[in-house]
Structure 1
Amino acid sequence: MLLRLLFTLVLAVGLAAFIYRKEDSPVTVIRINLLGYRPANSKVAVWGTLTNQTISSFQLVDAQNDRLISTHPAGRAFGAYGPFQQTYRLDFSMVKRPGNYYLRTANGTRSPTFRIGDDVYDGAADVCLRYMRQQRSGYNPFLKDSCHTHDGYTLYGPMPDSTHIDVSGGWHDASDYLQYVTTSANATYHLLAAMRDFPDAFTDQHQANGLSGANGQPDVLDEARWGLDWLLKMHPTDDWLFNQLGDDRDHAGMRLPKEDSFYGKGFERPVYFATGQPQGMFRYKNRATGVASTAGKVSSALALGYQLWHKRQPAYADQLLKRSQSAYKLGIQKPGNCQTAPGRAPYFYEEENYTDDMELATVEQLNATGATDKQATTWQNTALKFAQQEPVTPWILNDTARHYQWYPFVNVGHAELAKKLPPRQRKIVTDFYKRGIEIIWQRAQQNAFYRGVPFVWCSNNLTTSFATQCFWYRRLTNDQHYTALEQASFDWLFGCNPWGTSFVYGLPSQGDTPTDPHSAFTHLKQYLIDGGLVDGPVRGSIYRNLIGITLQEPDEYAPFQSDVAVYHDDYGDYSTNEPTMDGTASLIYLLAARQAEGHSSQRRNKKASKKQPITSQIIKSNASQVQLAASSKISLYYKGAKVRGDTTVRRLALVFTGDEYADGGHKIARTLQKRGVRASFFLTGRFLRNPAFASVIRNLISEGHYIGPHSDQHLLYCDWKKRDSLLVSRTQFITDLRANYAALASFGINTNTSRIFLPPYEWYNDSISVWTHAEKAQLINYTPGTLSHADYTTPDAPNYRSSAAILQSIRSYRQASQTGLNGFILLMHLGTAPARTDKLYAHLDALVTELKNSSYQLVRVDEL
């Protein structure tokens, strides 16, 4: 982040010709679901403008060949919303043909490329499981190391305080390392329900400990088992139930998970007993009134675990059932809300409802015991009484809420109870869902995003839960009235929002997703945390009143912030950009449901195709083959640039850029020749025209390295503070790039085949990607995760990184990531300023040797 600020200062004078102008800012945008759309679903994008412009139509364009497919009316203007003065819903639901497309309007606004297909959500649930594995406590498979193995010592329990109890395991709650039974039980239930309802959505690529390797059961079951085992530890006897592990002393400093020695008893952390009374070791106390909210969640998760394991492992399943029943009994005996315990800060999970938890627990007791006739009716009536006490989840009735005030954010019990009831009673319960959906719909239909979910803390969790409620209601009743609202809620999570970003780290791989979340994994080690759902936007007034938020870099979404809602892709904003374990688990269920519906549609289409003429079948078959070919390789893209090759192959590309310096040129060439490695070099026109560098360039060409463009004058294309704000016009971009190609041609380089382009400063936006594509070139960038690109920094700069630190970052990423450096574009520089005497290229031989010894194949970037 400091790198961006440094460049801004250094380039201030040199970029005088490209000073930011207001007319260059993105005054109009098209926001779409970056993950894509199923052919049968509602397909709507949102056009928004920061001015008072209007539109009358939009076009759908084939992204493969820029061919116009169709023109559609823009529909009615929805008026102002958030930062936008005018908005439209661009409805192209009538388009069913699979393919890659983009939308555009007459004023030149273009959407990111998106895909239509029944398989667009395939594998997404498994991606989110990556984040769950990374959140594991006890043994962490992502780090291949153990943490928090000494947990913990008891507080508030019937035993003497500081009694040791083994509660190691489970998941860290979010980017801190606290662990809560309430969120863990809810997450476990969602994982189990996803497996129960959509088993085909998951693969078997990991062992029970989370390491790579199949073990004969879907990965989602391995993850759910991790949660179940911890819940058993937190409810070890009939009348012992613990609610929380650790407290906000955890927040003393940012670190990777390990043993914590600041809780006052060696490496042990405090374990809070669920007393049903207010708790808090320091200044602040919660307002707990009972145990049922926690006990009900535990009972439900364990009961569902029993149902999925009773044939797999009967003895283990019996243990789950026994503890499910004792937890249910505690919930009946101690009704009320069991809140988490605060410490030195006033923030805690302020849950104030429990009847929804006991409703679900009652239904799952019925399901687990297999009761019939009179006993089944008794269970059903008990569950219905709980349901009638909270027909609508309270956050839906309000436009504000305290942190986790009503949790979980969807009443799962209504869906499960409805499945057990006769038609008349079933409608009572499904109407509870409908009542809540209708309340949101009345708010949502007033704006183009169909946004009716309030912007409170963890709004993305609420959005996921609401989309799931819509899905359950639709499946239970076959009422299609709210399908557009359901789809809009899902679209919001993946880019159809004012900021145009997916809120899931790394999903989709080629889209705008969080890159700087509030996470020690990314902040300290640049580890990828694929699949983590971040908290999401909050109301401007909430953001302004939170404690301890300081943005660490200029806000790239600044034009799209408003009092309506604020979101920052910034480590310093824990309120909107912190991923959570329970939100991610809820999303896993929703993504599995989406994938399953896509497969059902595929089966219907396949069955229908048998009745069609043979020519139609051939056309469909070819389209399917093209689509499979386009998605067969697991490569990563960001804002249209390829940033990583196939992650399933142990192969990477060494890439070097050159502009002002070439002091390492001959040494790099000799090292690569010695080791038999072909690399890739991206050179500016200024570099190519410098007579002092001619011998280096000819040497690289003669050795068969890839030589490509890096812009002619090493321009800064977009503002460091507002990435969407261009500093160059399209004409300036094209003129500069073509001049760079002319300089390449002067060395005999075939510019018809050298069509891979690495942008100057490795900084670009969607417009640069589109312009590059129009010039028939492929934009690439380095793979994030290491510090290799920092080899230009000098000791007097605040972002200085030594060669030792850079090499260690490469080594650490290779060892810690499950895919290692597979597909990496590892970027370095041909030379650096004289002030940097610690040259990374002096260590190139050792780096190449280490990579080869680790069985990596080093290839040119055009082979990646």
Structure 2
Amino acid sequence: MIFSSRSCQTPAMSKLALSLAAVLLAACTTACVSHVSAPPPTGFVRVDQVGYRADEAKHAFLMGTSGDTTFHVVDESGRKVFAGVAGPRTGDWNEEFATVRALDFSALTTPGSYRILATGAAPSPVFRVGSGAELFGTQVAANVRFFQAQRDGANVLPSTVNRKPSHLNDATATVYAVPRYDESGGELLDERLTPVGGPVDVAGGWFDAGDFLKFTHTAAYSTALLLLAQRDAPVAGPGLAAETRHGMAWLDKMWDDKTGTLYSQVGIGAGNENVRTDHDVWRLPEADEAPGADPMLARRPVFRAADPGKPISPNLAGKVAAAFALTAQTTTGDAARRALDKAAKMYELADREPDALVTAYPHAFYPEASWQDDLEFAATELALAGKALGDPRTDGWVRDAGHWATAYLSSDTRGTLGVGDVSALAHADLVKLLDGGGTAVETTRDRLTGDLARQLDDGRTRADRDPFRAGADYLEFDAVPHTFGLATTALLHQQTTKNDTYAAFGTQQRNWALGANAWGSSFVIGAGSVYPRCPEHQVTNLTGQQLTGAAVNGPNGANRFAELNRFPTMRPCVAGDFARFDGHGARFLDDVGAWQSVEPADDFTATALLTFALASR
């Protein structure tokens, strides 16, 4: 199926487009009569297509025109409501667009729908100005719909991308020995998988990305972020609460409290000629258990993070314990205490001296180096839950949180917010804990907020060199989730310090992810008017349904697109003319086979959801 690259329009957008057409027609006098066409636009305006809060800085970018370029913001009737002049050149992009300039319209605070008209440029997409709740509450709800589409097992929602129950055999799955891979992680070295236990019930949960694998690592991260949004954001609603329950129900199955066993994965994505894997077939998930299906797809393997009762990789133990502790904070009574006890037991089993970290099998699917941040996150959430429930272990967890924060701050693996580094979440909640009367070293609070600033300064240094002020590296994987991570961290810094030092930078990062970038595309499906139409996602490709709310990887290094995924059963789908906007060594391709740029993922979308939830306040 080939989707049209033409943007979808809402009624408000259509009204504005007609009004603009009337304005342009009225302006076309002698030139129109003599049939002399105006020259085609040579520039483009890039805006945040979701919009801007009335009280925040508002910037767009003009690419491809130079000189003293004027611009106007017009409302739905085509009336000019703001006029300005393009700012200084922020850099060049490619041969066609040698000039990029910023447009500042921060003074526009009146709620409404608008476009930007600039000399020599095509009109911008429609964007809105409004309150945080108005702009981002709908985005949170859309992100929740993505997680609903990702559901596995019996509890699917048929109204969401025509889903049907899938992988019911996961309820009686066999446990296998940890698979061995070559150094690159691309080939399974075991001739066959070796069964070591089971059956276990690991049915349900969420598919990890565009495929049908399920990872405890990404599920715990995603569920924790959804729980933080549920706990802290005014736009959290019953849909979000229901989805966090769905995620936690599966994590509860992946943790065997009686034996102290954490299962890390369901399914396998890299095999060999003897072991067929999830990544070898393009199909609907319910086909895996249809008559004649491959045995390794019909009866999917389960792998442990460690042997029963043995120390668990601390990044995994920390993330899962934090999710259970957050559940204890968002529930009451016996359910809260049971969740807290499970979190505490898992936290105690975390390996304090790991030789290697477990994320997925192979590790190359989700490389991760840091782990002290995960234990800081777990101890902090345990302490917050314990304080609320009057648990006598609380003071010990507070001390542990301070210890692991200090260990992280002294490590050489410090990063920024994403599935591989949760320090920003841990720091912000630890500050909240200390402000509430917790005991720790006096300088801990300043060091925690200082590290939030360090993460933002790293991003801002990169953004200062980029024409579109991107703070993430778009030549590497996960540019979009890292961008949302920076936006979230800016909001957390403002929350913990009560100052807005990084507020404009954080807004810029959200703007970039939602359309104020070279390609003029939002990287969240359904957000704005130009967004990915051909994600690498098997269900939506084969059903023709839109995967609303999904965040994709976004641009990537052009050299990474040498090989796209192609399957006989894949419906061809290519959208948009983005090649002319590639630059600075980066490429964005909206092609169903381009996993490098348009594959959605749970951790991507969870990070975007938390950004929107915090921005709604």
Bucket of the pairwise TM-score, normalised by the shorter protein? 0.7 to 0.9
Q: Provide the rounded CA distance (Å) in 1 between the counterparts of 2:294 and 2:348.
A: 33
Cross-structure match for 1:298: 320
Q: Which residue of 2 aligns with 1:252?
A: 280
Q: Distance in 2 between matches of 1:147 and 1:330?
A: 33
2:274 alignment partner in structure 1: none
TM-superposed deviation, 1:90: 0.4
**CA distance in structure 1 between the partners assigned to 2:300 and 2:58 by the alignment:** 49
Structure 1 residues 304 and 82, CA gap change in structure 2 (3 angstroms): farther
Question: In structure 2, what is the Cα distance between the partners aligned to 1:31 and 1:179?
Answer: 36
Show the counterpart of 1:470: 490
CA distance in 2: counterparts of 1:2 and 1:592, whole angstroms: 34
Which whole-Å deviations, capped at 9, do the CAs of 1:572-607 have from their partners, x for residues lacking one? Answer: 1011101111211222121122222xxxxxxxxxxx
1:29 is matched with which residue: 44, 53, 58?
A: 44
Shift of 1:42: 0.8
Alignment partner, residue 438 of structure 2: none
AA of the residue aligned to 1:56:
D
Residue 56 of structure 2 is aligned with which of 35, 41, 50? 41
Query: Which amino acid letter does the alignment assign opposite residue 168 of structure 1?
Result: A
Q: How does 1:55-94 map to 2 (within 5 A)?
A: 55-81=67-93, 84-94=97-107
Q: What's the TM-score once normalised by structure 1's chain length?
A: 0.58
Cα pair distance change 1:25/1:383, threshold 3 Å: farther
Residue 192 of structure 1 corresponds to 227
Q: How far off is 1:483 after superposition? A: 1.6
In 2, Cα distance between the equivalents of 1:478 and 1:419? 12
Check 1:473–1:361 CA distance in 2 against 1; reply closer, same or farther (3 A cut).
same
Q: How does 1:152-191 map to 2 (within 5 A)?
A: 152-156=173-177, 161=196, 163-191=198-226
Q: Is the 8 A contact 1:149 1:259 kept in 2?
A: no
Query: 1:2/1:193 Cα in 2 relative to 1: closer, same or farther (>3 Å)?
Result: closer
Match of 1:117 among 130, 133, 138: 130
Aligned mates of 2:4, 2:296 — CA distance in 1: 43
Alpha-carbon deviation of 1:239?
A: 1.7
Which of the numbers 370, 375, 385 marks the counterpart of 1:358?
Answer: 375
Q: Work out the CA distance in 2 between the residues paired with 1:472 and 1:43.
A: 20
Evaluate the alpha carbon distance shift between residue 549 and residue 28 of structure 1 in structure 2; reply closer, same or farther with a 3 A threshold. Answer: farther
SS of 2:148's equivalent? helix
2:509 is aligned, of 469, 489, 508, to: 489
- For residues 292 and 458 of structure 1, the distance between their equivalents in structure 2, rounded to whole angstroms, comes to 23
> Structure 1 39/196 Cα, relative in aligned 2: closer, same or farther at 3 Å?
same
TM-score of the aligned structures, taking structure 2 as reference length: 0.80
* Residue 532 of structure 2, aligned match among 514, 517, 524: 514
Matched residue SS, 1:138: coil
Secondary structure of 1:150 counterpart: helix
Post-superposition Cα deviations, 1:262-295, rounded to whole Å, max 9, x if no partner, equal 6646822111101289xxxxxxxxxxx9611111
- CA–CA distance in structure 1, aligned partners of residues 515 and 392 of structure 2: 50
Does residue 1:330 correspond to 2:360, yes or no?
Answer: no
Q: Distance in 1 between matches of 2:166 and 2:215?
A: 17
Q: Secondary structure at the match of 1:379?
A: helix
Task: Call closer, same or farther: CA 1:104–1:409 in 2, change over 3 Å.
Answer: farther
Superposed CA offset, 1:191-238 (max 9, x none) = 11111101x3034xxxxxxxxxxxxxx111110011111111111124
Structure 2 CA distance for partners of 1:61 and 1:145, relative to 1, 3 Å: same
In the alignment, is the contact (CA less than 8 A) between 1:276 and 1:338 conserved in 2?
no
- Which one has the largest radius of gyration? 1
Give the equivalent residue in structure 2 for 1:104: 117
Distance 1:65 1:534 in 2: 34
Q: Secondary structure at the match of 1:147?
A: coil
Query: Which of the numbers 447, 451, 465 marks the counterpart of 2:470?
Result: 451
| Structure 1 position 254, deviation (Å) | 1.3
Cα separation, partners in 2 of 1:394 and 1:65, compared to 1, 3 Å: farther
2:533 pairs with 1:505: no
Q: Deviations over 1:756-778 (max 9, x none)?
A: xxxxxxxxxxxxxxxxxxxxxxx
Contact 1:173 1:183 (C-alpha < 8 Å) held by counterparts:
yes
Amino acid at match of 2:405: A
Give the letter aligned to residue 457 of structure 2: E
Q: Which residue of 2 aligns with 1:417?
A: 430
In structure 1, distance between residues paired with 2:604 and 2:91: 32
Aligned counterparts of 1:376 and 1:588: Cα–Cα separation in 2: 30
CA shift at 1:460, angstroms? Answer: 1.0
Question: Match of 1:191, SS?
Answer: helix
Q: Secondary structure at the match of 1:260?
A: helix
Moved more, 454-463 or 54-63: 54-63
How far apart, in 1, do the equivalents of 2:105 and 2:4 lie?
39
Q: Secondary structure at the match of 1:258?
A: helix
1:384 deviates by: 2.2
Please report how far the alpha carbon of residue 250 of structure 1 lies from its aligned counterpart in structure 2 after TM superposition. Answer: 0.3
For residues 778-826 of structure 1, what are the alpha-carbon distances to aligned partners after superposition, in whole Å with 9 as ceiling and x for unaligned? xxxxxxxxxxxxxxxxxxxxxxxxxxxxxxxxxxxxxxxxxxxxxxxxx
- Which one-letter code corresponds to 1:359 in the other structure? E
Matched, 1:433 2:433: no
Q: Read off the aligned partner of 2:279 and give its amino acid letter.
A: H
Partners in 2 of 1:480 and 1:112 — Cα distance? 28
Task: Please say if residues 174 and 195 of structure 2, whose CA atoms lie closer than 8 Å, have aligned partners that are also in contact.
Answer: no
> Which of 351, 373, 385 does residue 368 from structure 1 map onto?
385
- How far apart in 2 are the matches of 1:338 and 1:263? 28
**Alpha-carbon distance change, 170 to 444 in structure 1, aligned in 2, over 3 angstroms:** same
Unaligned runs of 5+ in 2: 6-37, 179-193, 270-276, 436-441
Q: Secondary structure at the match of 2:322?
A: helix
The structural deviation recorded for 1:547 is 6.5
Unaligned runs of 5+ in 1: 6-22, 204-217, 278-288, 597-864
Native 8 Å contact 1:58 1:105 kept in 2:
yes
Q: Say whether the 8 Å CA contact 1:393–1:409 is kept in structure 2.
A: no
- Distance in 2 (alpha carbons) for counterparts of 1:3 and 1:183: 30
Of structures 1 and 2, the one scoring higher in RCO (CA 8 A, sep 6+) is 2
CA distance in 2, matches of 1:266, 1:247: 9
Would the alpha carbon gap of residues 150 and 317 (structure 1) be closer, same or farther in structure 2, given more than 3 Å must change? farther
CA 1:61 to 1:25, structure 2 compared with 1: closer, same or farther past 3 Å? closer
Return the letter of the residue paired with 1:134: A
Q: Distance in 2 between matches of 1:514 and 1:3?
A: 10
TM-superposed deviation, 1:464: 1.1
Cα distance in 1 for partners of 2:512, 2:411 equals: 21
Cα separation, 2, equivalents of 1:501 and 1:365: 40
Query: Cα offset for 1:109?
Result: 3.6
Q: Does the 8 A contact of 1:276 with 1:334 survive in 2? A: no
Alignment partner, residue 766 of structure 1: none
Q: How far off is 1:558 after superposition?
A: 1.0
| Counterparts in 2 of 1:55 and 1:388: CA distance versus 1, 3 Å | farther
Out of 554, 579, 586, the residue aligned to residue 607 of structure 2 is: 586
- Taking every aligned residue pair, what percent have the same amino acid on both sides? 27
Report the Cα offset of residue 452 of structure 1.
2.2
Instruction: Please give the secondary structure, in 1, of the residue aligned with 2:90.
Output: coil
Deviations 1:464-508 (A, max 9, x none): 111111110111112222222101100111111111111111123
Amino acid at match of 2:542: L
Match of 1:384 in 2: 402
Confirm whether residue 273 of structure 1 aligns to residue 330 of structure 2: no
Q: How has the CA–CA distance of structure 1 residues 394 and 457 changed in structure 2, closer, same or farther, with 3 Å as cutoff?
A: farther
1:576 matched to 2:597? The reply is yes
Whole-angstrom distance in 2 between the partners of 1:330 and 1:323: 11
Aligned residues between the structures? 535
By how many angstroms is 1:107 displaced?
Answer: 2.1
Q: Say whether residues 1:201 and 2:196 are aligned partners.
A: no
Q: Are residues 29 and 409 of structure 1, via their aligned partners in 2, closer, same or farther at CA, if it must alter by over 3 Å?
A: farther
Q: How big is each residue's C-alpha offset from its partner over 1:145-169, in whole Å with a ceiling of 9 and x where there is no partner? A: 3111111210127x96252111101
In structure 1, C-alpha distance between the alignment counterparts of 2:545 and 2:554, rounded to whole Å = 21
Residues 347/373 of structure 1: CA separation in 2 closer, same or farther (3 Å cut) = closer
How far apart are 1:555 and its partner, in Å? 5.8
Q: 1:92 to 1:374 in 2, by over 3 A?
A: same
Question: Where does residue 826 of structure 1 map in the other structure?
Answer: none
What's the offset of the Cα at 1:552? Answer: 5.4
For the 8 Å contact 1:60–1:101, the answer to whether it is kept is no
- Counterpart in the other structure of 2:142: 127
